[in-house]
Amino acid sequence: MERRSDGRIRVWADGGMGGSGLAGAGYIDITATELPALLHRAHADLLGFLRVLKAWADSLIPFCADALVDSLDRQIAITEQAGPNVSPQ
């Protein structure tokens, strides 16, 4: 992520600015006021993914479905508290 001279923020799909992703990966330019809502939406989508994963795992491996979902959640910190600069809108 990079703050541009025009006040916009550039976010790369690969981590950008020396990230280890694919060369030539795309980016988006957004305003600083758009970022919190976009982050909130991405977080809501990830929470939805955890719910779907839980239902799927319950149907196939009910004996360890909770452990699977909890492990994935811990690895990518979906339900971890949001930082001070991320406010839902």
- pLDDT, residue 74, reads 93
- Band of pLDDT at residue 15, cut at 50, 70 and 90: low
Domain total of the chain = 2
Domain residue limits at 50: 39-78
Q: Is 65 exposed, middle or buried (0-12, 13-18, 19+ CB in 10 A)?
A: middle
- Band of pLDDT at residue 20, cut at 50, 70 and 90: low
Strand spans (E) along 1-89: 2-3, 8-12, 27-31
Q: Which of 6-10, 24-28, 55-59, 69-73 has the lowest mean pLDDT?
A: 24-28
**Residue of 80 and 37 predicted with greater confidence:** 37
Helices 35-60/65-76 angle, 10° precision: 160
Bridging pattern class, strands 27-31 and 8-12:
antiparallel
Is 85 among the domain residues?
Answer: no
Is 86 among the domain residues?
Answer: no
Is 54 among the domain residues?
Answer: yes
